[in-house]
């Protein structure tokens, strides 16, 4: 392989759902596609905008949540390959959706997105709490996400409670939060701006135009068009560390 690297990893059956996860959570396994330390690792916990990991050589580290969530145009991991799950004795609390109810047969069909986006799992209707016995209802249950077939899922613990420890979803190409250091180009006239100071909740932000300090409308800076890009301003990059801090601060406020 280029650069002299070899895929020195333990090969197993792999994940049932080979798609790159939309959210990161403890227990997931990944393999880095680039870098000097190409060792498979297991997610230990999500710590704001960073993910704490245990590598298979016993060392510990952290990776950027943005890089771990990033995908290419085909939906595959851009920087890391999803490698399945670490087996847990009682399984993972994972989300499910009720697809169909067959009351005459006392059966139902559910979907388990983290296990397999396309599979329908049939089970006894009596397994579900009464408030979830309707098509479209969402809840969580415990499941062995390492299973390669429905028989190995060992489903139990159905409830309306939420799964914990899940990260946010991947950020779009336009930042969802404003932070110092970010650079933008205004669509109307092509002028470039670098954000200097951003106060949470303020209607305007301080920016440098290349010649002087100006105030820009925060709502227009953050507005996103139908294609996911900036509606009035195009994000050019920068402010990565400050953006991570602002996301982390926002997540802590929401959790209180």
Average pLDDT score, the chain = 89
CA distance 59 to 158: 36
**What average pLDDT does range 85-99 have in this prediction?**
95
In three-state secondary structure terms, 125 is: helix
Q: Which residues pair with 62 in a beta bridge?
A: 52
**In the prediction, which pLDDT does 250 show?**
67
**Do 66 and 101 fall into the same domain?**
no
What are φ and ψ of residue 56, in 5° steps?
Answer: -70, -10
**Do 115 and 150 fall into the same domain?**
yes
**In the prediction, which pLDDT does 251 show?**
61
**In the prediction, which pLDDT does 84 show?**
92
**Do 121 and 58 fall into the same domain?**
no
**Do 97 and 81 fall into the same domain?**
no
Domain that holds residue 79: 2-85
pLDDT in tens, 221-253: 999 988 888 999 999 989 888 888 888 776 666
Tokens of 63: 């990776």
**Do 131 and 200 fall into the same domain?**
no
**Do 19 and 67 fall into the same domain?**
yes
Q: Give me the half-sphere count of Cα atoms (radius 13 Å) on the Cβ side of residue 251.
A: 17
CA distance 232 to 217: 10
**In the prediction, which pLDDT does 10 show?**
42
């Amino acid at each position: 392989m280029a650069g002299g690297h070899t895929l020195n990893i333990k090969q197993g059956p792999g994940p049932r759902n080979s798609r790159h996860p939309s959210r990161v959570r403890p227990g997931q396994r990944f393999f880095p596609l680039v870098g000097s330390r190409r060792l498979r690792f297991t997610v230990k916990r999500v710590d704001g905008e960073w993910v704490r990991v245990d590598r298979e050589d016993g060392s510990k580290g952290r990776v950027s949540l943005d890089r771990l969530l990033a995908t290419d145009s085909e939906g595959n991991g851009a920087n890391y390959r999803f490698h399945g799950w670490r087996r847990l004795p009682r399984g993972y609390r994972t989300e499910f959706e009720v697809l169909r109810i067959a009351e005459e047969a006392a059966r139902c069909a559910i979907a388990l997105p983290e296990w397999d986006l396309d599979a329908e799992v049939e089970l006894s209707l009596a397994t579900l709490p009464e408030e979830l016995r309707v098509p479209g209802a969402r809840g969580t249950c415990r499941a062995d996400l390492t299973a390669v077939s429905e028989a190995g899922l060992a489903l139990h613990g159905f409830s309306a409670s939420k799964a914990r420890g899940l990260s946010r979803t991947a950020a779009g190409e336009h930042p969802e939060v404003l932070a110092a250091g970010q650079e933008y180009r205004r669509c109307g006239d092509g002028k470039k701006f670098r954000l200097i100071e951003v106060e949470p909740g303020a209607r305007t932000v301080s920016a440098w135009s290349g010649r002087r300090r100006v105030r820009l409308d925060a709502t227009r800076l953050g507005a996103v068009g139908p294609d996911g890009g900036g509606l009035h301003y195009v994000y050019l990059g920068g402010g990565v560390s400050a953006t991570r801090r602002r996301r982390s601060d926002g997540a802590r406020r929401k959790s209180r």
